[in-house]
A = this chain, B = another copy of it.
Amino acid sequence: MMEETGSSLSTNHPYWPRNLSLPTYVPNDRSMTEILVFLFSVSGVLLLSIWALTGKQVAGQRLSAGRRLALCWFTVCGFIHGVIEGWFAFFYPVIISDQSFLSQLWKEYAKGDSRYIIADNFTVCMETVTACLWGPFSLWVVLAFLYNRPYRYVLQLIISLGQLYGDILYFYTEHRDGYMHSEHGHPIYFWFYFVFMNGLWIVIPFALIVDAWRQLSAVQAISDKTTSQSRKHKAN
């Protein structure tokens, strides 16, 4: 819709492809540092709080260090999916010209992927599902582990697969577009924002899928053994 090619030589925005026409673009008045400090300090505070909170015995059990790290991860996911990506899902049509803090965050991030300021159809759909489902589910799974709910690993599997599949499609669609939506090889915008930040949502969900697979299969194996033994007892 907004992805029209302009013929003017002077481009008034920092986005790629350089010939994108973005007449309503308003440059940020917040610096990159302010935005990154906000993102990482909120994430850091959440991470440390959950680490401290889960150190105590909860619901008659003590969580392992790995499990506590997983809960820290899901809490940060709850914040990023629910608040940051939630903002995008609701306000993507106006972000380009808006100066709210979170709109400025997205205008900064879009230097690594301009699909976020041209309302790319797949991006909007995937982000909306992420914000509305994986966001709340991420907080739900933290409670599920704290209260030792029997569906805790099922929920971990659902969120992690949702994140992984969404992210695979995110990278794959951009790969087929020839990485045209950022300056190819730029150390910050391409490698840090686009590749590294999103790469986290490939590596960590994959590890948590493997973890859930192992846990759920182990418990099923014990149950199957019991069933098989009781069947043999009946047969004898």
Contact = CB atoms under 8 A, between A and B. Distances in A.
Interface of A: 60, 121-122, 124-126, 128-129, 148, 150-154, 157-158, 161-162, 165-166, 168-169, 172-173, 176-177, 209, 212-213, 216-224, 228, 231
Contacts of A212: 154
Contact of A224 (B124, B125, B150, B209): B150
Contact of A169 (B153, B161, B169, B172): B169
Contact of A129 (B128, B165, B223, B228): B165
A173 B125 contact: yes
A171 to B, nearest CB: 9
A217 B154 contact: yes
Contact of A165 (B151, B162, B219): B162
Contacts of A224: 148, 150
A228 to B, nearest CB: 7
Contacts of A161: 158, 161-162, 165
B231 A150 contact: no
A123 to B, nearest CB: 10
A6 to B, nearest CB: 19
B150 A217 contact: yes
Given A126-B169, A158-B161, A176 B220 contact: no
Contacts of A151: 213, 216-217, 220
A124, A216, A228, most chain B CB atoms within 10 A:
A216
A217 B154 CA distance: 7
A210 to B, nearest CB: 11
Contacts of A126: 169
A232 B153 CA distance: 24
Contacts of A231: 60
A60 B230 CA distance: 13
Contacts of A162: 161, 165
